[in-house]
Structures are given as structure tokens and as C-alpha cells.
Structure 1
Amino acid sequence: MPLLSIVVAVDKAGGIGVDNKLPWHLPEDLAHFKRVTSGHAIIMGRKTFDSIGRPLPNRRNIVITRNRDWSHENVLAVGSLQEALREVIGSPSFIIGGAQIFAESLPMVEQLIVTEIDKTFDCDTFFPRPDPAQWVETARETYYSEANACDYAFVTYTRRL
């Protein structure tokens, strides 16, 4: 299992959110996210934590924030991505957002676990398409969402050596 992965859901245009919220409701993706991340550390920015509203159970919740006074029960608050990564050395861990944390961690991660939603939503935040020169698709499971009337896929990309 790779030590550091990004887990993200994107629409057809690479959108990942609007007004600090998910623009879709895809229960299958939430279940997939839970299966993938349970029992491991999840690293996120404070705004992502605020959008979730609580620590996620059965995971080590690590929140990156510039506010040294910020704290929350059952959450480890750190001041930088580097500090978060020092906390998880040697353990499989997942970067779960937001856009700034994704951008900062992208050069360091070994794997992308992407839910690709075959529909465009109104988004104000985006995730870059995996560059084929750097990433190879290693797994794809395709499904259909009745609730969103669209196809979606759970796709794994592995960094090229």
C-alpha cells in the first residue's frame, strides 16, 4: 500500500467544490471514501474540516491550520503539510483536501484515488487532471448514479517511476 495518497472526487471539468461544499450528493462515493480511509490518517486543511464539521470516526484526523490557537477534540492540529507528514511517517495516509493542500502535496504523493463523475457541476474549486507523463491509471471501476443521472468511476493512478 502506498504511504501517501490523495483521495478526491472530481466532476467532468475537474471541479471539486463550490462555496466550500461538495456540489453533488453521491452516497456511493462517500462509502468508497470511508472504505479507503478507515483505519488510517487523513490530512486536511481547516476549511475542509469545517465543511465536514466533525472528526471522521476510525481515522486519525490531522488538520493543517495557520491559526495556532485552533483546536478541536480528537483532532491533531498542525501548522504545515511538512509537520503533518512527520506525524504519519511510515503509515499509509490520505490527503483529503482542500485545493491548497492538494496542490502542495501533489508532488509528494505516490497515488491518486479519484472518483471521476461524468457530469459537470457548478464549481469554484478544481483539481488538476493527472498528467499522463507522471501518472498511470492502474485501476478503474465504473458505475451509474441514479441520484445524479450520470456515470462515475473509482480510478486509481500510480506515480510513474
Structure 2
Amino acid sequence: MIIMIAAVAENNALGKNNELVWHLPNDFKRFKSLTTDHYIIMGRKTFESFPKPLPNRIHIVITRQTNYNPEGCIVVDSIQKAIAVCPENEDSYIIGGGEIYELGLPYTDIIELTKVHHTFEADTFFPKFSKNEWVLVESEENFKDEKHLYDYTYETYIRK
């Protein structure tokens, strides 16, 4: 299955200047738990935003740059080629950024969202998706605390 995973603000903001605009340690733990030992699909800018490749995951990087070849990554030039590389009988995750989410949405079976209950100034946004095409099957509220400045909700959607 193709699973899209993202943390988004109330205004669908994902980030600004290729960085997240919030810090939610529990969301990082959830992301790690869900994506470890799986293929992860991302754009070049998202890949370059990491200090190093994420451990225990197979990185597929989508880029138009023909000579781009980071060590240990599979590099492709389209979302279709990225998905074709992933094993059909395993979960694979689309992890961003904004353009890759937009391109990947038609191929996605499940959306794992962390909805951050705040509005942020941003330059990258998660695509709007029709609630007519998706069913919310799980929702878990989390409240701000000493490590989390904002309330947030984990939401799981499956395609109808």
C-alpha cells in the first residue's frame, strides 16, 4: 500500500524555508515507528533537509536533476517511477514535500496526518483532499504539554 504521512497545520501548512515550523517530539516518534523498515518516497529538497539519511529505511528521491546521486538512495525522476520501485506487497510511505504530496495523492491508499491545531506562516502546503473520497477511520487527540507547544491530533484516512 502507498501511505502518505505528514504533519499539517490548520491552514495545511507543512513548513517554511525547507524546515518544519513546529516541534512535536511525539510526532517524530510516530513517524519513526511507522516508516522504519519501509521504503520512503520524497523530493530532493525534503531529502536535503535531513542531516543524514534516516536509518533503517530505503530512500527514494524524486528529482529532475539528472546527475543527482546521493549515496545509498534510489533516485528517480517521477512519482510513477518511485512507486514502481516499491514492493507491491509492502507498505511504502510518501513523506514530502508539498509538490510530492500533490503528485502522490492519486496513488495513495492511506493518509496518516498529524493535524497541528494552530495556523502558521508557511511556503509549503499539504494538498487539499476531498472528504468525499476519504474516510476518517482513526483519530487520537493529544494536548500540549511541556514538550509540545500545540494541541495535535493523529488522523488516519483511507480511500473510499
- TM-score normalised per structure 1: 0.93
Structure 1: gaps spanning 5 or more residues:
none
Structure 2: gaps of 5 or more residues: none
Alignment-derived partner of residue 113 in structure 1: 112
Q: Distance in 2 between matches of 1:57 and 1:35?
A: 12
Which residue identity lines up with residue 50 of structure 2 in the other structure? I
| Matched AA of 2:137 | T
Question: 2:143 aligned with 1:154, yes or no?
Answer: no
The Cα shift of 1:148 comes to 4.2
Equivalent runs, 1:1-40 vs 2, <5 Å = 3-40=1-38
**Alignment of structure 1 residues 11-160 onto 2, 5 Å:** 11-90=9-88, 91-146=90-145, 147-160=147-160
* TM value normalised by structure 2: 0.94
Aligned to 1:122, the other structure's residue is in SS state coil
Return the alpha-carbon distance in structure 2 between the equivalents of residues 149 and 73 of structure 1: 36
- Once superposed, what is the RMSD of the aligned Cα atoms? 1.2
Q: What is the aligned length?
A: 158
Q: Which moved more, 1:120-129 or 1:38-47?
A: 120-129
Partners of 1:104 and 1:56 lie apart in 2 by 22
| 8 Å Cα contact 2:101/2:127 also seen in 1 | no
Q: What are the Cα deviations for residues 92-147 of structure 1, in whole angstroms up to 9, with x where unaligned?
A: 10000011111011011001000001011221111134321111100011111324
Q: CA contact under 8 A between 2:98 and 2:127: conserved in structure 1? A: no
Structure 1 range deviating more: 38-47 or 120-129: 120-129
> Cα–Cα, structure 1 residues 128 and 65, in superposed 2: closer, same or farther, change >3 Å?
closer
Residue 63 of structure 1 deviates from its aligned partner by 0.4
User: Given residue 149 of structure 1, which amino acid in structure 2 is its aligned partner?
Assistant: L
Identity of aligned residues (%): 39
